[in-house]
Amino acid sequence: MRRALHLRAIAPYALLLPGLLWLVLFYVYPAFQMFLVSMWTGNLDAGFVQSWNWGIYPEAIAEYWPWLARSIVYGGLATILAFALGFPLAYAIAFRGGAYKNVLLFLVIAPFFTSFLLRTISWKIILADNGLLLGPLKDVGLLSEEFRLLATPAAVIAGITYNFLPFMTLPLYVALERMDKRLIEAAEDLYAGPWRPQGIIAGLVIGGVLGVVVGAVMGYGPVVVGIVGAVAGALVGTFLISQAFIRVTLPLALPGIFAGSLLTFIPAVGDFINAELLGNPQSLMIGNVIQARYLEVTDYPTASALSFVLMLAILIGLFFYARLLGTEELTGASV
């Protein structure tokens, strides 16, 4: 009896062990190694020495903050766009999928059966200057001959959004799927109706601000994109958002929103493939810088320092994000 109790007490720790070992071996140790490398001085030919050169951090930040900022903006916009696309998708599958739920879910992850690289390259064909999308628009004169999507920030953000959309959709789906739908009926019984006029105002403001930011970053006239965003937001706010959604569905989906946005944002900020393939010299991200410093310039210390700075920046962002969404609600809603 005593023995059984004893086993039961250590079982959780034993179960943790493989994961912990994995983490220590493949994350903590390499990260520590990288930390040491960041404070090397020297070069390939003369060799590197551990000089504890802390100064490299302010230096690296001073030199590369524009790329860091750009990565955070691109990653952030891609996350918001993935949410805007992923939430209705997850909602539709969870609430209206019916017998096709599994098929639809499969379709969400189907792109993962192709390599990340090939998926990104295929965008070069879709977005080509006279390709499937732009060709017809140019033919009818809606766009000028010089207009292009490839080799612009818009293509980079769109590429990231596309590549990480499943990471956003799946957690949202899980959160929505296990929601007790009777709660919505209960809310409606208690006179929850359309969410007006708040919905119109909120949609107008959120859509407008997002449109201006997207337009500014992508370089397509913030005013026009802002107006389009505001109108779209107002329409969504008027016709699609109900009080039950605001009071019941959204709070219950928060854990999914939290998980999905982290799973999207973190890899998106560090991504370099999309910028490399779909961007131009003016839209390269911090991942490209780290790669170039490490492999081409063999400047291992700066590359390592930048990796750490990126990690730290994300961690700090994460902390505030968790505070904003409210950890209490997160854990509360997930029970």
Partner 1 sequence: MTDRMPLPGDLTRRRFLQGSTLAGTAAFLAACGTPPAGSGAASATAAASEAPSASASAAATPANSGDLRFANWIGYIDTADDGTYPTIQKFETESGIEVTYGDGEVDDNETFFTSDLQAPLDAGLPTEWDIVVVTDWMVGRLARLGWLETIDTAMTPNFVANLAENYKGRSFDPDTNLAAPWQSGMTGLGFDKNKTGDLDSLEVFFNDQFKGKLTYLSEMRDTVGLSAIRLGSDPANLTQEQFDAALAEVDKAIKAGVVRQVTGNSYVEDMAGGSVVLSMAWSGDVLSLLVPDQKADQDFQWALPKEGGMLWTDNMVIPKGSPNKAQAERWIDFYYEPTNAATIEAWVNYVCPVAGAKEVMVELDAEIANNPLIFPPEDWVARLRQFRTTTAEEETAWAEAFTKAMGL
Nearer to partner 1, 25 or 297 (CB): 297
The C-alpha atoms of residue 302 and residue 311 are separated, in whole angstroms, by 14
Nearer to partner 1, 45 or 189 (CB): 45
Using alpha carbons, list the distances in angstroms from residue 161 to 42, 76, 127, 236: 39, 10, 15, 21
| Minimum distance from residue 262 beta carbon to partner 1 (Å) | 21
CA angle 222, 227, 228 (to 5 degrees): 100
Q: Where are the alpha helices (DSSP H) in the chain?
A: 2-23, 29-38, 56-96, 101-109, 116-126, 134-139, 153-177, 182-189, 198-218, 222-239, 243-244, 250-270, 273-278, 286-291, 300-325, 327-334
Nearer to partner 1, 94 or 284 (CB): 284
Q: Of 115, 182, 127, whose CA–CA distance to 159 is shortest?
A: 127
| Minimum distance from residue 283 beta carbon to partner 1 (Å) | 8
Q: Which residues bind partner 1 (CB under 8 A)?
A: 43-47, 67, 115-118, 121, 124-125, 128-131, 146, 148, 150-151, 273, 276-277, 279-284, 288-289, 291-299
| Minimum distance from residue 301 beta carbon to partner 1 (Å) | 13
Distance of alpha carbon 53 from the chain centroid: 33
Q: Of 165, 162, 169, whose CA–CA distance to 119 is shortest?
A: 162
| Minimum distance from residue 194 beta carbon to partner 1 (Å) | 46
| Minimum distance from residue 241 beta carbon to partner 1 (Å) | 40
The C-alpha atoms of residue 172 and residue 255 are separated, in whole angstroms, by 8
Instruction: Give burial (CB, 10 Å; 0-12/13-18/19+) of 311.
Output: middle
| Minimum distance from residue 74 beta carbon to partner 1 (Å) | 14
In the block, residue with structure tokens 């997207």: 214
β-strands 40-43, 47-50 pairing: antiparallel
Nearer to partner 1, 173 or 272 (CB): 272
Nearer to partner 1, 51 or 130 (CB): 130
| Minimum distance from residue 306 beta carbon to partner 1 (Å) | 11
Nearer to partner 1, 18 or 47 (CB): 47
Nearer to partner 1, 131 or 194 (CB): 131
